[in-house]
Amino acid sequence: MSALPATFRAMRLEAAHQPLVARDLPLPACGPGEVLVEVLACGVCRTDLHLADGELAAGTLPVTPGHEIVGRIVACGARVEGFTTGQRVGIPWLGWTCGQCRYCTSGRENLCDRARFTGCHLDGGYARFALADARYCFAIPGAYSDAEAAPLLCAGLIGYRSLKQAGDARRLGIMGFGAAAHIVAQVARFEGREVYAFTRPGDVAAQTFARRLGACWAGGSDERPPAELDAVIIFAPAGPLVPAALALLAKGGTVVCGGIHMSDIPSFPYSLLWGERRVVSVANLTRDDAREFLALAPRVPVRTVVVRYALTDANRALADLRAGRLTGAAVLDCR
């Protein structure tokens, strides 16, 4: 392996509402249990956009965003188990948990109050290198290229956790047909569910994309599908979609809010909730989610649709995501 550089390029979030800035940073050394990863590709997630736009507070500033990281290990610290240099790994949003609180000790580490998240508290993958706790890294299925694998690490994982929250719903609605939706739709079809896709009103391209992925119906969020739904997963960060989704549910159905941020939910009549309908949110992910989904994805097989950008074009990728110009998932080529 060639000698490692003393510095590396990273795109940094230094203040909300400001463009990311390219900086040269000193290469970090591995501490105990840590791996240094040469980043090959990093997905651009809506959470990154929420941080850049100040809708979520960054845990640390300045910080390098990015938590859908695919790379190769170039150095290992002491006490790293299960990984070796040269191995390809993925680094997701969940970067560290305390392991001791009531959430961590009951299989709910995604709710840990002291959790630290990649690209928010910990420097992420909009960079040539990233340092990570090896316990929160995962082997990447060999069937995927670097760019194809990147969206699996958040869009895929959060979509998978959202699908689990939907229970055994046979008729599944998905609102906001972006990166997460295009993955979860494939898993839902693999499981034998009917998928009903809701896009921005008039977005014919997104509706065509959804049908191509197996949706039995696709229309605008202002339209009503031909059947009552058993569950609706909302990925779009728009609070008014919650009562709209409730109005589409059969009794006993579930609305799953799959995003980390959503605009305010307007008041709605109790009759929309009555009939044992429920509204639940999805928070982060657990390492078990990652292991399950990364084993499942090649079996489906999940095929990710990606739009590639150079690392230094990260601001353009965020702008395209903000404007709704993407079909599938944006991915930075960090090499």
1 falls in which pLDDT band (50, 70, 90)?
low
* CA–CA distance, 332 with 44 (Å, rounded to integer): 7
pLDDT value at 102 more than 60: yes
Running DSSP on this structure, what letter comes out for residue 71? E
Q: What is the pTM (predicted TM-score) of this model?
A: 0.96
State the greatest distance between any 2 C-alpha atoms of the chain, in Å, as a whole number: 65
Q: Residue 289 in contact with residue 139, Cβ under 8 Å?
A: no
User: Residue 2 pLDDT more than 90?
Assistant: no
Fill in the amino acid letter for 270: Y
Terminal CA-CA length for the chain: 15
- Decide if 198 contacts 176 (C-beta within 8 A): yes
What number is the average pLDDT over the span 204-229? 97
Question: What pLDDT digit, counting tens, does each position of 143-181 carry?
Answer: 999 999 999 999 999 999 999 999 999 999 999 999 999
- Beta carbons within 8 Å of 59's beta carbon, 6+ residues apart: 116, 117, 120, 121
Task: Name all domains of the chain by residue range, CATH numbers in brackets.
Answer: 7-154+285-333 (3.90.180.10), 157-281 (3.40.50.720)
Structural element, H or E, at residue 44: strand 34-44
Condensed to tens digits (0 to 9), the pLDDT of residues 269-316 reads 999 999 999 999 999 999 999 999 999 999 999 999 999 999 999 999
Which residue, among 182, 185, 178, 175, has the nearest Cα to 241 in the 3D structure? 175
Give the list of residues 6+ apart from residue 156 with CB closer than 8 angstroms, or none. Answer: 180, 183, 184, 293, 297, 302, 304
Query: Is residue 191 over pLDDT 70?
Result: yes
